[in-house]
Amino acid sequence: MFGPFRILLLSLLLFGCVKEIDYETLTTAYSADIRGFDPAFATDIRTGKIISLVYDNLVRFDNEMNLVPALAQQWTVDLTGRKYTFIIRNNAHFHDGSQLTVLDIAKSFQRVLDPSTASPQTWLLDRIAGAKDFMNGKENFLRGLKISNDSTLVIELDNPFAPFIQYLAMPATAIINIKDSKSLSQAPSGSGPWKLEKWERDGEIILSKNENYWDKPPKAERMRIRILSEVMTQSAEFEAGSLDILEVPQSEMDYWNKYKYNKLDVDELNIWYVGMNCSRPPFNDVRLRRAMNYAIDREKIIYILLNNAATLANGPIPPQLLNEISEPRYEYNPNRAIRLLQEAGFDKGLHSELFVAGGSGMFHVLEALQSDWEKVGIIIDIKRSDWNVFKTSVREGKPDLYYLDWFADYPDGENFLYPLFHSKESMTKRNRFYDPEIDAIIEKIQQLTNQSERQQLLETANKMVADAAPWVFLWHSKTTYLTQKWISEFQPSSIFNANRYMKITKHPR
């Protein structure tokens, strides 16, 4: 029935279907689609990354995590630490060709705070003077935003707040074309180095370079971000040459090490941890919480299960954000863990549940934790649920123990303290940890503008939190990227929105 001629014909037809490598288009993949192109709703990392490509901010992070000028050519902060003056560049244009003005900047910030926008990101700007009154409808303008002239914007805060300038580099504070803000969710209206060409939801996002960008435009002509939810699918596409960059899960590193792809490791600003509910027994006892830390052989887990792609966490703040390398606080010491358990009255051991969310990729790690705890008499059952149920449970303070990670919003140790351990945040949405001394030091860190003093306080706070042991501090993970041989100048960064794919190129090799 299928003679040799027909088989040959079929093969030719099929061979003809595979496309040649497109050297003008850089192709990468996300595991899920973005939420949309409205900066006011950029609450997840993927959306934040895309927003940083199609929009500009007043300032931004470079690949070394330094804060650098963007739409603001320069800025100054007065001695009180409350007043910021920005000089805005006059050569920036939106993708529709219209000029970006100081008014667009003021209106963009106002829009995030406007109750009718219903943005969940108001926390970034609600320290501007008058923001609370504006949000409550008591005033119809933002008192703390002042346009001095065509190129000067002054922002006044209620109180000094050191991280504020970094907030202005976050996706939600990106500047939109206020004349074209009706359908931002589907069609961005920004001034960034990339323009949206096509968005097939759950399929792909295609961006083309903005030739009229105020800075040097990207070197690649086009970017294609494919939405591939399965890790195996991404790997297959990379192996077939259809993806240029692949983020490799640690569990698959052994497989990829066989091949000669370009490999890049990035020390992420993150921490993996087990949160313990500190507001009720049994984990309101610091001895038990410390025992939980001493019982885990983290070095072994990092070496064997994580392919050495992580560094030990000696507190919540990643080492890149501290001047001094922290002393190891909880070395593996099961005997000490047993002694602490006895002191705390758990001679006969303890039984508890660990809440986790997500796929099977982490289960080998969880089993290792379970096994280490069991050796000192702590029996842990793993309770798995989907992400939404898990987050809701944590928010409601239900779990005694939960396994989670935290990735930096901005490269500042404060970002690993206030949102996680200040009682205002922890008592309402995390592991119910309250320590007035730690609250006070975090508040001081937020206000201080003197960098050396601030850095010392960050180190002190890091040690204090580690001593109080509200978490089992696990590790700061690395991300490994593989790139095809035809890719050069790929520069991933530790902070999620720093890499804007400006220099990356694709050439035949």
Partner 1 sequence: MIHYFLNRLLQTIPVLFGVIVITFVLMYIIPGDPVVSMVGERYSEETIQHLREEMHLDDPLIVQFFRYVGNVVRGNFGNSFITGEPVAKMIMEKFPNTMMLAVGAMFFAILIGLTAGILTSIRPGSFIDRGIMILALAGISAPVFWVGLILILVVGVMLRWLPPTGFGGIEYLILPALTLGLRSAAYLARLTRATMLDVMSQDYIRTARSKKLTEWKVYLQHAFPNTLIPVITVIGTDFGSYLSGAVLTESIFGWPGIGRLALEAIMKRDFPVIQGTVLFMAIMFVLMNVLVDMLYGVVDPRIRLERSGK
Rule CB under 8 A: say whether 5 interacts with partner 1: no
Rule CB under 8 A: say whether 485 interacts with partner 1: no
Compute the least distance from the CB of residue 139 to partner 1, in Å. Answer: 17
Tokens read off for 45: 């990392």
Q: Do 312 and 472 form a contact (C-beta atoms < 8 A)? A: no
d(CA 299, CA 306) in angstroms, rounded, equals: 10
Element of type H or E holding 395: helix 387-395
DSSP letters of 345-390? T-TT-EEEEEEEES-GGGHHHHHHHHHHHHHTTEEEEEEEE-HHHH
Q: Rounded to the nearest 10 degrees, what angle do helices 286-294 and 334-343 cross at?
A: 160
Name which position in 239, 252, 343, 443 contacts partner 1 (CB under 8 A).
Answer: 239
Build a one-symbol-per-residue string for 107-136: x at contacts with partner 1 by CB under 8 A, - elsewhere: --------x--x-xxxx-------------
Give the binding-site size for partner 1 (rule: CB under 8 A): 52
Name which position in 23, 259, 303, 387 contacts partner 1 (CB under 8 A).
Answer: 387
d(CA 344, CA 341) in angstroms, rounded, equals: 5
Element of type H or E holding 260: none
Compute the least distance from the CB of residue 136 to partner 1, in Å. Answer: 10
In the sheet that 194-200 helps form, which strands lie side by side, from edge to edge?
25-30, 222-227, 204-209, 194-200
**Helix, strand counts (H, E) of the chain:** 16, 20
d(CA 155, CA 111) in angstroms, rounded, equals: 15
Rule CB under 8 A: say whether 11 interacts with partner 1: yes
Which residue, 202 or 254, has its beta carbon nearer to partner 1? 202
Name which position in 133, 180, 204, 252 contacts partner 1 (CB under 8 A).
Answer: 204
Site for partner 1, residues 388 to 407, rule: CB under 8 A: 388-389, 391-393, 395
d(CA 185, CA 198) in angstroms, rounded, equals: 13
d(CA 143, CA 458) in angstroms, rounded, equals: 32
Compute the least distance from the CB of residue 308 to partner 1, in Å. Answer: 28
Compute the least distance from the CB of residue 213 to partner 1, in Å. Answer: 27
Tokens read off for 32: 């899920």
Site for partner 1, residues 407 to 426, rule: CB under 8 A: 409, 419, 425
Compute the least distance from the CB of residue 333 to partner 1, in Å. Answer: 33
Rule CB under 8 A: say whether 287 interacts with partner 1: no
Tokens read off for 175: 């500047």
**Cα of 335 vs its chain's centroid, Å:** 37
Name which position in 9, 24, 44, 78 contacts partner 1 (CB under 8 A).
Answer: 44
Which residue, 11 or 323, has its beta carbon nearer to partner 1? 11
Site for partner 1, residues 206 to 235, rule: CB under 8 A: 226-230, 232-233
Site for partner 1, residues 138 to 197, rule: CB under 8 A: 185-186
Rule CB under 8 A: say whether 39 interacts with partner 1: no
Instruction: Give phi and psi for 344, each to the nearest 5.
Output: -80, 0
DSSP 42: -
Name which position in 6, 43, 303, 361 contacts partner 1 (CB under 8 A).
Answer: 43
Compute the least distance from the CB of residue 203 to partner 1, in Å. Answer: 4
Which residue, 128 or 378, has its beta carbon nearer to partner 1? 128
Q: Is 233 exposed, middle or buried (0-12, 13-18, 19+ CB in 10 A)?
A: middle
Rule CB under 8 A: say whether 361 interacts with partner 1: no
Tell me which residues touch partner 1 (CB under 8 A): 11, 14-15, 17-19, 32-33, 35-36, 41, 43-44, 115, 118, 120-123, 185-186, 200-204, 226-230, 232-233, 236-237, 239-240, 242, 385-389, 391-393, 395, 409, 419, 425, 428-429
